[in-house]
Amino acid sequence: MKKIFVTSFILTALLLACNTTPKDRTIKFEGIENARELGGLKMQDGRIIKEGKLIRSGNLSKATDADAKVLKDRFRLTDVVDFRFDAEVKGAPDREIEGVQYTHLSTLPKSIIAGFSSGRTDAAEMKSQDIGELLAKYASYPQAQEMAQKLYPTIVTDSLSQKYYGEFLRTVLKAEGGVLWHCSQGKDRVGCGTAFLLTALGASRETIIEDFDLSNVSYAPYVEKLSAQIKENGGGENELAFIQAMIGVSTENFTKALDLIETQYGSLQNYVTKALQFSEEEQELLREKYLR
- Per-residue pLDDT at 136: 82
Are 287 and 47 in contact, with CB atoms under 8 Å apart? yes
* Burial grade of 61 (CB within 10 A; 0-12, 13-18, 19 or more): middle
Q: What percent of the chain has pLDDT over 70?
A: 87
Give kind and range of the element (H or E) at residue 57.
strand 54-57
Are 35 and 25 in contact, with CB atoms under 8 Å apart? no
Mean model confidence pLDDT for the chain = 89
| Rounded CA separation 244/223 (Å) | 6
Of 42 and 21, the structure prediction assigns the larger pLDDT to 42
CATH at 201 = 3.90.190.10
| Rounded CA separation 222/34 (Å) | 13
Rounded mean pLDDT, 226-235: 90
- Per-residue pLDDT at 131: 72
Helix, strand, coil percentages (3-state) for the chain, rounded to 5, are 60, 10, 30
Three-state DSSP state, 170 = helix
Q: What is the pLDDT of residues 247-285, one digit of tens each?
A: 999 999 999 999 999 999 999 999 999 999 999 999 999
| Rounded CA separation 198/187 (Å) | 15
Examine the pLDDT at 32 and tell me if it is beyond 90. yes
Q: What is the pLDDT of residues 116-145, one digit of tens each?
A: 655 444 444 444 446 777 788 878 888 889
Whether 223 maps to a domain, the answer reads yes
Q: What is the pLDDT of residues 143-195, one digit of tens each?
A: 889 989 999 999 999 999 999 999 999 999 999 999 999 999 999 999 999 99
Torsion sign over Cα 263, 258, 254, 63: negative
Per-residue b or e along 229-267, where b marks 16 or more CB atoms closer than 10 Å to that residue's CB:
bbeeeebeeebbbbbbbbbbbbbebbbebbeebeeebee
Examine the pLDDT at 200 and tell me if it is beyond 90. yes
- Per-residue pLDDT at 162: 98
- Per-residue pLDDT at 116: 63
- Per-residue pLDDT at 15: 35
Whether 104 maps to a domain, the answer reads yes
Q: Look at the chain and report how many structural domains it folds into.
A: 1
pLDDT band at 9 (very low <50, low <70, confident <90, very high): very low
CA nearest neighbour of 84 among 75, 94, 70, 76? 94
- Per-residue pLDDT at 135: 81
Whether 11 maps to a domain, the answer reads no
pLDDT band at 23 (very low <50, low <70, confident <90, very high): low
Q: How far is CA 133 from CA 142, 222, 232, in A?
A: 18, 10, 14
Query: SS3 string of 78-110?
Result: EEEEECCCHHHHHHCCCCCCCCCEEEECCCCCH
Per-residue b or e along 184-203, where b marks 16 or more CB atoms closer than 10 Å to that residue's CB:
bbbbbbbbbbbbbbbbbbbb
Whether 218 maps to a domain, the answer reads yes
Q: How far is CA 202 from CA 90, 125, 198, 234, in A?
A: 36, 43, 6, 45
State the residue range of the domain holding 244.
29-290
Whether 16 maps to a domain, the answer reads no
| Rounded CA separation 85/108 (Å) | 7
| Rounded CA separation 117/17 (Å) | 50
Whether 50 maps to a domain, the answer reads yes
Whether 19 maps to a domain, the answer reads no
Rounded mean pLDDT, 77-86: 97
The CA-based angle 36-213-155, given to 5 degrees, is 95
Assign residue 203 a region (left: φ > 0; alpha: ψ between -120 and 50; beta: otherwise): beta
- Per-residue pLDDT at 114: 82
Assign residue 46 a region (left: φ > 0; alpha: ψ between -120 and 50; beta: otherwise): left
Whether 15 maps to a domain, the answer reads no
